[in-house]
């Protein structure tokens, strides 16, 4: 690790000239994503805006890790940073993540080298990934053209069409805390779904859903003559729910990818049942995700339904989940709230704000598809929520509904502003998404059998 970044850049430029016999990049150079930019500009650009790139620059991560280290007297150790800057931990550049500000840029986040040099995945959670530490970049190509920068090789761990690749993603997307609470369970949830079934006609890996395949060249520029590969270039935006809260590359592109992926994940159906004790029901069906919705950091996610019923004069008869921009959904005292997140508790049953405090959780998430057998009671995995409107039912002329999603609660962010110097702009920059596919308007005129269809 002796070379400076400037020297690395010069070497990358030299590589770019693509002269025959030019030495390949060193392991150190390959650990730097900037090296890849020379020949894989689209992969680099997409990744640079991703939460994988942002993971150790995220001010919420930095403040939360700082607070966690203090509150546990350092017992957290490398627990957090081992997933948010895994290469830096492997290289001994950090032991607790408290020095992230001093880490070189190339060692922060989940980097190209970390995935493309993976040797084995030794468990199902808490990042048990081992690296080769060599100069071969591994992927799913059977016959790559020669790369002037690195050796290339096939690995089922980084072949998105191979079921084993879900184990690579899943082993970081599944967290068992030091208190032995299985707090983030994306991989465990995935393994119960129809998508994890080995039958090829229904199998979908994490990568097949999250890394869209395009007809494109994989490497370009620098005199490289690589063919267009059919469905061969996979998108590297890794869009999910979180966004950069500080200036960061590709913010508009990330946001667009998030909106695209959130759009169809949940299907909704709204019914107004005047003869059923006066109920409005909303049925939400997680049709798109290969795990719960939301998933992973579900203790921090806030997904809820905003539902409003109007009379013929457009006066509000009933409402639920109308959350002001400066409040969290649990703060509005709404007994009818349709909430989708994990409620977390300490040992004394008081709410747990931070995840090192969590002793147990109550899960309110939308279930994924786990069977294709219509006779199996789990076939219908939708959640139906009833809103009691009583006598007002006879006056209902219109009902609107939409699922909203805020990546993190404001009170958690505000606590970090107060205790650990999180910039206040991180709170004001926190978005609230609306899931396009769940935006419904019910009227008697358009309803079929009393429901939106
Ligand atoms: C000087 C150009 C150059 C640089 C720099 C470069 N690559 Fe490559 N890479 C290539 C070429 C050429 C291919 C083969 C493309 C093809 O066959 O379509 C390739 C293929 C790959 C593959 C597919 C391997 C397989 O067998 O499936 C991966 C993964 C990869 N590169 C990752 C990286 C990463 C990560 C970096 C930065 C550390 C990097 N590359 C830097 C030129 C380069
Ligand atoms: C070394 C651990 C690690 C591996 C391996 C890994 N991830 Fe991640 N991933 C993370 C971390 C850490 C974050 C969150 C960064 C943040 O928000 O601060 C993340 C974020 C994401 C997000 C965005 C989540 C959100 O809510 O915004 C998606 C989507 C994602 N990863 C998918 C994948 C896929 C697909 C794979 C496999 C190809 C994968 N990850 C492999 C650690 C990993
Ligand atoms: C979280 C893990 C992860 C990270 C981080 C990551 N990749 Fe990939 N990459 C994959 C997976 C999985 C594939 C799919 C390979 C396949 O199915 O052929 C892939 C594919 C590729 C390929 C082969 C062509 C393709 O698109 O399928 C190249 C080249 C590549 N990545 C370069 C990069 C570069 C450059 C970076 C960093 C700027 C990077 N990757 C970061 C997991 C990752
Ligand atoms: C059948 C397709 C599918 C499969 C398989 C799948 N996902 Fe997802 N995933 C989705 C969709 C759709 C969303 C919601 C869109 C969004 O968050 O932007 C999502 C959301 C996510 C999120 C954000 C969750 C949140 O609420 O913060 C992460 C992280 C993630 N997936 C990781 C994974 C990992 C890791 C795997 C494999 C173990 C996986 N996914 C398998 C479709 C899939
Ligand atoms: C096993 C790997 C792993 C460990 C350990 C881990 N994280 Fe993460 N972290 C992730 C992944 C993956 C995501 C993306 C979650 C999602 O979208 O589902 C994430 C997301 C986040 C986020 C952004 C989303 C949110 O609100 O939760 C913050 C902040 C964060 N982690 C902080 C921490 C802190 C602090 C610790 C230690 C107490 C920690 N992480 C430990 C993998 C990890």
Please name which ligand lies nearest the alpha carbon of 135.
Answer: 1
Same domain, 126 and 186: yes
Mean pLDDT of the region 300-328:
97
Mean pLDDT of the region 128-155:
97
Torsional sign, CA 61, 67, 71, 75: positive
Which of 20-34, 115-129, 310-324, 431-445 is predicted least confidently?
A: 20-34
Assess whether the C-beta atom of 258 lies below 6 angstroms from ligand 4. Answer: yes
Assess whether the C-beta atom of 50 lies below 6 angstroms from ligand 4. Answer: no
Q: Is residue 116 part of a domain?
A: yes
Mean pLDDT of the region 46-67:
98
| Rg (alpha carbons) of the chain, rounded to whole number | 24
Same domain, 268 and 222: no
Say how many CA atoms lie within 13 Å of 283 toward its Cβ: 12
pLDDT digits 0-9 by tens, 276-305: 667 999 999 999 999 999 999 999 999 999
Q: Which atom of ligand 5 lies at the shortest distance from residue 177's CA?
A: 5
pLDDT band at 3; cut points 50, 70, 90: very low
Token output for 210: 């999250």
Residue nearest to atom 5 of ligand 5 (CA): 80
Judged against a pLDDT cut of 80, whether residue 13 lies above it is answered with no
Instruction: State in Å: Cα 308 to ligand 1 middle.
Output: 53
Same domain, 367 and 296: yes
Q: Is residue 321 part of a domain?
A: yes
Neighbours of 453 (CB within 10 A): 8
Neighbours of 175 (CB within 10 A): 21
The per-residue pLDDT for 14 is 42
Q: Is residue 73 part of a domain?
A: no
What's the rounded Cα separation, in Å, for the pair 289 and 291? 5
Peptide bond into 294 cis (omega under 30): yes
Assess whether the C-beta atom of 173 lies below 6 angstroms from ligand 5. Answer: yes
Assess whether the C-beta atom of 257 lies below 6 angstroms from ligand 4. Answer: no
Same domain, 216 and 184: yes
The per-residue pLDDT for 12 is 43
Computed over every residue of the chain, the mean pLDDT equals 94
Instruction: State in Å: Cα 99 to ligand 4 middle.
Output: 31
User: How many domains does one find in the chain?
Assistant: 2
Please name which ligand lies nearest the alpha carbon of 340.
Answer: 4
Q: Is residue 50 part of a domain?
A: yes
Q: Give me the domain span that covers residue 128.
A: 5-55+110-136+158-238
pLDDT digits 0-9 by tens, 207-228: 999 999 999 999 999 889 999 9
Instruction: State in Å: Cα 240 to ligand 4 middle.
Output: 7
- CA dist 207 to 144, 212, 234, Å? 20, 8, 9
Assess whether the C-beta atom of 408 lies below 6 angstroms from ligand 5. Answer: yes
Of residues 171 and 221, the one with the higher pLDDT is: 171
Q: Is residue 65 part of a domain?
A: no
Mean pLDDT of the region 368-375:
97
Same domain, 337 and 399: yes
Please name which ligand lies nearest the alpha carbon of 296.
Answer: 5
Assess whether the C-beta atom of 238 lies below 6 angstroms from ligand 5. Answer: no
The per-residue pLDDT for 4 is 42
Pocket test for ligand 4, best of 126, 196, 239, 290 (most atoms within 8 A of CB): 290
Q: Return the residue matching tokens 């980097």.
A: 111
Assess whether the C-beta atom of 265 lies below 6 angstroms from ligand 4. Answer: yes
Domain boundary among 171, 203, 238: 238
**Ligand 2 proximal residues by C-beta, below 6 Å:** 51-52, 54-55, 58, 61, 83-84, 86, 110, 114-115, 127, 168-169, 172-173, 206-207, 210, 238, 240-242
Pocket test for ligand 2, best of 79, 111, 173 (most atoms within 8 A of CB): 173
Which of 22-31, 53-62, 232-241 is predicted least confidently?
A: 22-31
- CA dist 39 to 53, 214, 307, 410, Å? 18, 17, 49, 41
Residue nearest to atom 19 of ligand 1 (CA): 147
Same domain, 275 and 421: yes
What's the rounded Cα separation, in Å, for the pair 188 and 291? 8
pLDDT band at 21; cut points 50, 70, 90: low
Residue nearest to atom 13 of ligand 2 (CA): 52
Q: Is residue 153 part of a domain?
A: no
Same domain, 296 and 168: no
Judged against a pLDDT cut of 60, whether residue 9 lies above it is answered with no
Q: What is the pTM of this model?
A: 0.96
Residue nearest to atom 3 of ligand 4 (CA): 290
Domain boundary among 238, 268, 292: 238
Of residues 391 and 199, the one with the higher pLDDT is: 199
Judged against a pLDDT cut of 70, whether residue 346 lies above it is answered with yes
Assess whether the C-beta atom of 100 lies below 6 angstroms from ligand 5. Answer: no
Judged against a pLDDT cut of 60, whether residue 430 lies above it is answered with yes
| CB-CB contact of 282 with 305 (8 Å) | yes
What's the rounded Cα separation, in Å, for the pair 236 and 231? 14
Torsional sign, CA 377, 379, 383, 389: negative
- CA dist 115 to 33, 158, 432, Å? 12, 7, 31
Q: Is residue 425 part of a domain?
A: yes
Q: Which atom of ligand 3 lies at the shortest distance from residue 53's CA?
A: 5
What's the rounded Cα separation, in Å, for the pair 346 and 354? 10
pLDDT digits 0-9 by tens, 91-124: 999 999 999 999 999 999 999 999 999 999 999 9
Please name which ligand lies nearest the alpha carbon of 186.
Answer: 4
The per-residue pLDDT for 15 is 43
Instruction: State in Å: Cα 150 to ligand 1 middle.
Output: 7
Instruction: State in Å: Cα 172 to ligand 3 middle.
Output: 16
Please name which ligand lies nearest the alpha carbon of 158.
Answer: 3
The Cα angle at residue 368 between residues 186 and 199, in degrees rounded to 5: 90
pLDDT band at 17; cut points 50, 70, 90: very low
Q: Which of 307, 286, 289, 290 lies closest to 382, judged by CA?
A: 286
Same domain, 184 and 311: no
Mean pLDDT of the region 335-341:
98
The per-residue pLDDT for 393 is 82
Same domain, 271 and 229: no
Same domain, 262 and 227: no
What's the rounded Cα separation, in Å, for the pair 31 and 27? 6
Domain boundary among 180, 207, 238: 238
Residue nearest to atom 40 of ligand 2 (CA): 169
Assess whether the C-beta atom of 219 lies below 6 angstroms from ligand 1. Answer: yes
What's the rounded Cα separation, in Å, for the pair 380 and 279? 21
Pocket test for ligand 1, best of 218, 224, 229, 233 (most atoms within 8 A of CB): 218
Same domain, 304 and 437: yes
pLDDT band at 147; cut points 50, 70, 90: very high
Mean pLDDT of the region 151-179:
98
Same domain, 305 and 438: yes
**Exposure b/e, 74-91, CB count within 10 A at least 16 = b:** eebeebbbbbbbbbbbbb
Q: Is residue 105 part of a domain?
A: no
| CB-CB contact of 268 with 438 (8 Å) | yes
């Amino acid at each position: 690790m002796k070379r400076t970044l400037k020297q690395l850049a010069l070497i990358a430029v030299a590589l770019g000239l693509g002269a025959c016999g030019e030495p390949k990049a060193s392991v150190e150079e390959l650990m730097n994503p900037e090296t890849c930019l020379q020949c894989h500009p689209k992969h680099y650009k997409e990744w640079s805006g991703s939460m994988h790139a942002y993971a150790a620059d995220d001010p919420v991560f930095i403040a939360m890790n700082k607070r966690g280290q203090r509150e546990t007297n350092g017992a957290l150790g490398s627990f957090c940073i081992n997933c948010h800057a895994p290469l830096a931990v492997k290289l001994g550049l950090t032991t607790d993540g408290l020095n992230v500000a001093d880490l070189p840029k190339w060692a922060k986040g989940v980097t190209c080298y970390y995935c493309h040099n993976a040797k084995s995945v030794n468990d199902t959670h808490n990042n048990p990934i081992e690296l080769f530490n060599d100069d071969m970049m591994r992927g799913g190509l059977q016959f790559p053209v020669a790369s002037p920068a690195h050796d290339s090789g096939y690995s089922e761990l980084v072949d998105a069409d191979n079921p084993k690749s879900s184990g690579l993603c899943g082993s970081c997307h599944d967290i068992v805390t030091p208190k032995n609470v299985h707090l983030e369970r994306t991989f465990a949830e995935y393994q119960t779904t129809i998508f994890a079934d080995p039958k090829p006609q229904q199998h979908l890996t994490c990568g097949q859903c999250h890394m869209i395949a395009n007809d494109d060249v994989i490497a370009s520029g620098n005199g490289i003559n690589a063919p267009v590969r059919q469905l061969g270039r996979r998108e590297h935006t890794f869009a999910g729910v979180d966004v950069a809260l500080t200036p960061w590359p590709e913010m508009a592109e990330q946001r667009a990818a998030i909106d695209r992926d959130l759009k169809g994940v949940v299907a909704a159906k709204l019914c107004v049942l005047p003869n059923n004790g006066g109920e409005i029901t909303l049925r939400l069906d997680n049709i798109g995700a290969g795990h719960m919705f939301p998933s992973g950091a579900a203790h921090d996610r806030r997904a809820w339904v905003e539902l409003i019923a109007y009379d013929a004069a457009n006066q509000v008869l009933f409402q639920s989940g109308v959350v002001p921009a400066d409040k969290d959904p649990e703060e509005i005292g709404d007994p009818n709230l349709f909430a989708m997140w994990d409620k977390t508790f300490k040992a004394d049953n008081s709410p747990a704000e931070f995840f090192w405090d969590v002793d147990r959780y109550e899960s309110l998430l939308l279930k994924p598809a786990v069977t294709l057998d219509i006779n199996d009671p789990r076939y219908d995995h939708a959640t139906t929520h009833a809103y009691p409107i009583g006598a007002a039912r006879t006056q209902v002329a219109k009902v609107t509904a939409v699922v909203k999603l805020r990546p993190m609660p404001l009170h958690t962010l505000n606590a970090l502003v107060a205790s650990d110097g999180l910039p206040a702009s991180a709170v004001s920059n926190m978005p609230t998404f609306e899931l396009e596919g769940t935006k419904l308007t019910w009227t008697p005129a358009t309803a079929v059998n009393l429901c939106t269809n």
